[in-house]
Amino acid sequence: MIRDEIIELVGRALHAAQAAGDLPQFAAPEVTVEHPQRTEHGDFSANLALRIQGLAKMKALEVAEALRRHVPAHEAVSEVRVAPPGFLNLYLGAGWLAGQASAIADAGERYASSDRGAGQRIQIEYVSANPTGPIHVGNGRGAAIGSTLANVMVAAGYDVEQEYYVNDAGTQVAIFGRTLYARYQQLFGRDVTVPENGYPGEYVLDVARGIKDQAGDRFLRPEGEEPSAELGQLGIQVMVDHIREDLALMGVEYDRWYSERSLQAEGGAYNRVLDLLRQQKHVVEREGAVWFASSELGESKDNVLIRSDGMPTYYATDIAYHYDKFIERKFDRVIDIWGADHQGHVSRVKAAVAAIGGDPSKLDVLLYQLVALRRGDQAVPLSKRAGEIVTLRDVVEEVGKDATRFFFLLPSANQTMDFDLELAKKQSDENPVYYVQYAHARIAGILAKAVEQGISADGADASLLTHEAEQTLLRKLLLLPEVLETVVDDLGPHHLPHYAQDLASAFHVFYTQCRVIDAENPDLSRARLLLLEAARVVLARTLGLMGVSAPEQM
């Protein structure tokens, strides 16, 4: 991308200046450039002179001037200036910029893809909500973040595997099984109530009904007896199917659904990992429970692996799961995306990864802060009476997949957010989703009209794209590769919707100022159609990565 070429140019200028004796010899720091806020400061600005003034024992302005004299010629760069207190400002040439229209249009949907990831195998695990209930609004945020990040990393050349960890074992599942059995018995007229600590939601009754329709009274046992484990597992399966459907409504698809239970099954990683930890003397028994002596590894406390009732904790199976990720499946990198309420879990999982022979620096845990639901000024409680919650499905069905994803992506992950249902639904200028999609539909409309009138971009002379609005739009189009790199480096998908709004804005300005289809100016029309094609490509790509549709009309 152009930014990296500019960095390269500045680096070469430094070496050339040193070789020519205009600057003294010293080890050069890494060169960085940025986009100045003010356009008169150029397209790229390097602060190198300011940073090396001490090393050079010269005034920053003089260093910058020495650098400027040695910047090699480059087809994209029309001018290099020095500005106080010592910036080196580089300007892109109008002709080169104009030429990018055809380069982008030709790249099509591959535009902004890169091989930065070099095929590195990376696993992204997200949502992974307990299958004991429907997936709720907060999980939706994780879904939007995770799947968007996955899309972008694929575009950046990573070999990505998206995974949902199904907590189909443990206490909560057992409680779900007992709740389900109570509901199941109710369907046969037995006077039983949902257990005290059970799941009061109506959905469990629906699950029971479905099982009764399929299997009749097969799971009914004499009164007072415990339910079969099979019933619970069947119920979990039904819940997982629902979760899969709910996430599919949001455009989220996984490569793999990984069963926690399978870890504990014969040949699963759980026993091997426990043996491994025992061998390494990381395990102590105390108060009837088995503990991971994590405080010896710098953690603030020890953590229970096996409870006094003999059941493994979530933590224990999670260690086994990460053993599977790092040691057995040998992912180069692992990203876990969790709600902020799991924050306390982060350092102990990292400690465990180190203990089992993994490299904790290859584990990134992306935490997102919690979501509150709003309808205008009105707060919407996430859980209503009797265990009923506002589900993700409710939200998607009310405001649509596009608005749901866009709104979840907008704030950075470590910002708590209010999801405003009223705003997300609004078809007005208050709603940024429509602003961006409208830009795409508008372009599609003009392109369709051009086809109608028999005009095309074939043989366009891009060098006619000299209007300020055209050049501003071109600059925005060139930014997408940098945005994708930032998303990958910061694990920050929120940059995408912000960029999308900027891009849409640049297009709308262009549209207002520049007539595209103009019978009086066929050459300019062709050139502008080419620019439109490029803009459409970039807008569609940006929306596509977010999992938001790019409509031809609205």
Partner RNA sequence: GCGCCGGUAGCUCAGUGGAUAGAGCAUCAGUCUUCGGAACUGACGGUCGGGGGUUCGAAUCCCUCCCGGCGCGCCA
DSSP code at position 389: B
Report, in Å, the least distance between residue 217 CB and RNA: 31
- Regarding 287 and contact with RNA (CB under 7 A), the answer is yes
Q: Does 370 bind RNA (CB under 7 A)?
A: yes
Task: State which of positions 79-108 bind RNA (CB under 7 A).
Answer: 83-85, 87, 89
Taking the least distance from each CB to RNA, the nearer of 193 and 415 is: 415
Contacts of 346 (CB under 8 A, 6+ apart): 338, 365, 367
Tokens, residue 361? 């620096």
The piece of 18-26, 103-111, 141-149, 511-519 that touches RNA (CB under 7 A) is 511-519
Binding to RNA (CB under 7 A) within 519-548 occurs at: none
> Is 264 an interacting residue with respect to RNA (CB under 7 A)?
no
Distance CA 137, CA 125 (A): 18
Site string for RNA, 429-468 (x = CB under 7 A): xx-x-xx--x--xx-xxx--x-------------------
Which segment (148-156, 164-172, 271-279, 541-549) binds RNA by CB under 7 A? 164-172
Q: What is the 3-state secondary structure (H, E, C) of 258-322?
A: EEHHHHHCCCCHHHHHHHHHHHCCCEEEECCEEEECHHHHCCCCCEEEECCCCCECHHHHHHHHH
State the pairing for strand pair 333-339/256-259: unpaired
Task: List Cβ neighbours of 209 (8 Å cut-off, separation of 6 or more).
Answer: 187
User: Does 303 sit near RNA (CB under 7 A)?
Assistant: yes
- Answer yes or no whether residue 554 interacts with RNA by CB under 7 A: yes
Q: Candidates 66-74, 397-405, 422-430, 459-467: pick the segment binding RNA (CB under 7 A).
A: 422-430
- Distance separating alpha carbons of residues 53 and 87, to the nearest angstrom: 12
Window contacting RNA (CB under 7 A); options: 32-40, 226-234, 246-254, 321-329: 32-40
| Cβ proximity to RNA, 192 vs 382, nearer residue | 382
Strand order in the sheet with 333-339: 256-259, 159-166, 121-126, 333-339, 363-368
Q: Contact between 301 and RNA (CB under 7 A)?
A: yes
Torsion angle (degrees, nearest 10) of CA 301, 305, 307, 313: 110
What is the sign of the dihedral through the CA atoms of 95, 97, 98 and 104? positive
**400 touches RNA (CB under 7 A):** no
Question: 111 and 479 in contact (C-beta within 8 Å)?
Answer: no
- Which of 106, 341, 468, 489: binder of RNA (CB under 7 A)? 341
Nearer to RNA, 122 or 483 (CB): 483
Q: Which helix (H) or strand (E) element contains residue 524?
A: helix 522-546
- Closer CB to RNA, residue 205 or residue 517? 517
Nearest distance from C-beta of residue 183 to RNA, angstroms: 20
d(CA 128, CA 244): 11
Least distance between RNA and beta carbon 160 (Å): 22
Site for RNA in 185-214 (CB under 7 A): none
Q: Which is nearer to RNA, 191 or 520 (CB)?
A: 520
HSE, CB side, 13 Å, CA atoms: give it for residue 22. Answer: 17
Q: What angle do CA 460, 462, 465 make, to 5 degrees?
A: 125
Smallest separation (angstroms) from RNA to the CB of 56: 12
Binding residue for RNA, selected from 1, 50, 249, 382, defined by CB under 7 A: 50
Shortest distance, position 535 Cβ to RNA, whole Å: 12
Q: Which CB atom, from 235 or from 492, has the smaller least distance to RNA?
A: 492
Tell me which residue of 214, 242, 245 sits closest to 230, measured CA to CA: 214
Of 78, 120, 412, 471, the residue at the interface with RNA (CB under 7 A) is 412
Per CB under 7 A, the segment of 50-58, 92-100, 246-254, 327-335 that binds RNA is 50-58
d(C-alpha 489, C-alpha 483), whole Å: 10
Could you say whether residue 307 binds RNA (CB under 7 A)?
A: yes
Decide whether 53 or 151 has the Cβ nearer to RNA: 53
**Could you say whether residue 342 binds RNA (CB under 7 A)?**
yes
User: Minimal distance in Å, beta carbon 216 to RNA?
Assistant: 31
Alpha-carbon gap, residue 112 to 473, rounded angstroms: 16
Asked if 33 and 88 touch (Cβ cutoff 8 Å), the reply is no
Give the relative orientation of helices 269-279 and 314-323 as an angle to the nearest 10 degrees: 90
Which of 100, 130, 148, 259: binder of RNA (CB under 7 A)?
130
CA-CA-CA-CA torsion sign (17, 20, 23, 29): positive
Q: Pick the closer one to RNA by CB: 156 or 506.
A: 506
Query: In terms of CB distance, is 95 or 551 closer to RNA?
Result: 551
